[in-house]
Chains A and B, each alone.
Chain A
Amino acid sequence: MDLFDKFDALIAQKSSLPFEKADPFKVVMDKVLSETVAIIEGRETILAGTNNYMGMTFNEEAIAAAKEALDNYGTGTTGSRVLNGTYSGHKGLEKTIADFYGMDHCMVFSTGYQANLGMISTLGGVDDYVIIDADSHASIYDGCAMGNATIVRFKHNDIESMEKRLKRLPAEAGKLVVVESLYSMLGDAAPLKELLETAKKYGCTTLVDEAHSMGFCGEKGRGLCEELGVEHLADFIVGTFSKSVGTVGGYCVSNHPKFDVLRLVCRPYMFTASLPPSVVASATASIKALERSGNRRAHLWENARRLHAGLKAAGFTLATETASSPIIAVCLPDPLIATKFWEKLLLNGVYVNMALPPATPAGYNLMRVSVCAQHTTEQIDEITRRFIATAEELGLNVKAA
């Protein structure tokens, strides 16, 4: 028995996709010219699928801080946070994030994936319940699978579906509700106020994953909880450095008085090496810069609205009615057309994410665009033009409104 036999169906499915000149799982960026342009196979390509929302990957202060940390602290910590892997930079970064949120505690993880994995698996004990949205990110599902709690799932962004289920749970049991603020595939926003208020009505502890909203939602860029004025209803906020912050890593902030004990029980925090000093330094500089990036935030939202309006006017079907986030998802009729569209668009010099079922909700076949604050207005219009040209080359029937 070959252990790989179980993947045969997947291998067959993947090889049935009609890629000729490019493969979405094998894109290589040979040169990265800026936050928004890279060289792929010799072609200058506009990056419109990198989650680099605030364009912080080339932030001067972040780069300078990283270089200094490299010189002073070396390339890596070679150790866990609970052994030799905590440098002054790690403590400084945790303080920077806690201050940014105005919260008492912060724990930095090596990725956002591990932050969710660790928080959910550790908080949800064997007698507890973890209540999640059906469209949750893989890191949330995996945190559930790793822990021992009973997992309850409600319909995506459906307050009534959540409340019905909360009503059925024992009143005295420990309950953790986990929701995201902006969902990464369609860019749809959660009705956070209603969800969190309902969770609180049933005595639940709450965790909000702000991976796709930190940096540009809210006046200070803390996320959708800030924007909606519901930070007091979130007991834990999880975030990542891999999107708006422009590097790698994850964090959780909280006011819980016993929060620090997690450092001794949270396995995805303890049993892996801590972030390298250069990453810690650039994350610290980047978050400080994000806090005062009001103009950049405004430009990002302008870009998102402009692209949404342009594609809508051209007749494309979009996953959200309005630009509710910098994620603009274009819906195509079937996986075959999506495959061809993605490939042609890349050859036309625009990189976006292709997302197909089962990775997408409701069976959507998506060209997922993530807009960057450093995209110029000209680049946004160019992306729209190349979408239109690609549709024409494929003879796709999109009707201008």
Chain B
Amino acid sequence: MDDMNPADIQGDMQEHTLNLYECGPRKVYTVDREIPFPEGKLIVSLTDTKGIITHANRAFVEMSGYEEDELIGQEHSILRHPDMPAAAFKGLWDDLAAGKKWHGYVKNLRKDGAYYWVYATVVANVRQGKVVGYTSVRRKPSRKKINECITLYKELKDAE
């Protein structure tokens, strides 16, 4: 996956290198700016069985800061924020492999380096008895839960 482009970032940025599972190292830039979850909306994406984005609704595209054609065909880790612990996504993939629905709080990284928190639910798309992909639907999380996750994710990160 391409590195993020510092020219897309506004404000005081920090550089990090993520080690993505499928894509290897990716340089990302973050700024300390939170974008509020859009009121009343759901952020929806579909992926294939490997986590490659096959569909994104308008709220998804707008919140990510990317254009739709920059998202379709990319790994979902294009939104991976360096503050997210690996354990969160391991839990996601383990649950999906076990045929379970997954819920979790996720801090996502935008193209402009800012971030947004979501409460995500992922289910398998089962067609004719086979898993052909996944649907992820994100809704607005409570501030209390976000604050708990900030503490928890920092502990998990520090232990990595």
**Do A and B interact?**
no
Residues of chain A at the chain B interface (Cβ within 8 Å): none
Residues of chain B at the chain A interface (Cβ within 8 Å): none
